[in-house]
């Protein structure tokens, strides 16, 4: 606001700026930058609903996710939206997931994301206030139902173990089939030798 007094007359003119711009809080700007950096570093993310979830439950979930090398970040939904808007790879995800409603947490899925999804799914069975909302995994957007189905699938390590077991099984059976007659034959010879001696 600027005041100016005119010399020819005794009126005071008050000029207001046409548009008042508010400077955003620097803490919020820093928070958006941190979220943006985390999202850019971890291309696999999930949004989970945490409405009415107690702090102790969130800490238990955080501890569970650390075991699978993932992390959970709780932030205001408006800050989450701004952070996603600044990352270009998430355009498809933004169309599906935004606007974010209710209290939401960002889960950064590192490495094998299937084990982290399974951990969230198992935790959500016990803590009904935690729900899947949306996920962005390997450049594909998933809704709640799809995330729950993915979480129920075996992890990559389990599938590799089953594959190796199925490949090993026929070889083991062949090995046993070859060894068994020889072992039986040796036992028969040994028994005859003991009888003859």
The pTM (predicted TM-score) of the whole model is 0.66
pLDDT at residue 182 above 60? yes
Measured distance between the N- and C-terminal CA atoms of the chain, rounded to whole angstroms: 121
Determine which helix (DSSP H) or strand (DSSP E) holds 112, and give its type and residue range.
Answer: none
Listing DSSP states for 11-39 in one string gives: -EEEE--S---PPPPHHHHHHHHHHHHHH
pLDDT at residue 1 above 50? no
Name residue, tokens 């955003």: 24
Instruction: Compute the average pLDDT of residues 148-172.
Output: 78
pLDDT digits (tens, 9 = 90+) for 82-140: 888 888 777 777 777 778 788 888 888 887 788 888 888 988 888 888 888 888 888 78
pLDDT at 95: 74
pLDDT digits (tens, 9 = 90+) for 60-72: 888 988 888 888 8
For 103, phi then psi, to 5°, come to -70, 130
Name residue, tokens 């003859």: 196
Range of lowest pLDDT (6-15, 132-141, 159-168) = 6-15
pLDDT at residue 148 above 70? yes
Determine which helix (DSSP H) or strand (DSSP E) holds 72, and give its type and residue range.
Answer: strand 71-74
Q: Quick one: tokens of 180? A: 């068994």
Residue 52's nearest CA partner among 122, 126, 104 is 104
pLDDT at 51: 85
pLDDT at 40: 84
26-153 has which CATH code?
3.30.70.1730
pLDDT digits (tens, 9 = 90+) for 39-59: 888 888 888 888 888 888 888
pLDDT at residue 172 above 70? no
């Amino acid at each position: 606001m600027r005041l100016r007094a005119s010399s020819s007359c005794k009126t005071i003119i008050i000029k207001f700026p046409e548009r008042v711009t508010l400077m955003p809080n620097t803490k919020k700007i820093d928070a958006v930058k941190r979220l943006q950096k985390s999202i850019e570093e971890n291309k696999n993310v999930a949004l989970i609903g945490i409405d009415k979830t107690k702090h102790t439950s969130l800490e238990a979930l955080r501890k569970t996710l650390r075991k699978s090398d993932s992390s959970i970040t709780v932030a205001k939904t408006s800050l989450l939206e701004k952070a996603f808007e600044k990352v270009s790879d998430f355009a498809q995800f933004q169309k599906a997931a935004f606007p974010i409603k209710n209290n939401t947490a960002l889960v950064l899925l590192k490495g094998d994301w299937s084990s982290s999804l399974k951990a969230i799914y198992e935790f959500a069975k016990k803590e009904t206030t935690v729900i899947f909302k949306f996920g962005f995994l390997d450049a594909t957007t998933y809704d709640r139902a799809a995330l729950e189905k993915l979480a129920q699938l075996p992890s990559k390590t389990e599938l590799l173990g089953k594959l190796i077991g199925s490949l090993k099984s026929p070889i083991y059976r062949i090995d046993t089939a070859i060894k068994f007659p020889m072992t039986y034959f040796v036992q028969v010879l040994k028994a005859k030798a003991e009888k003859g001696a």
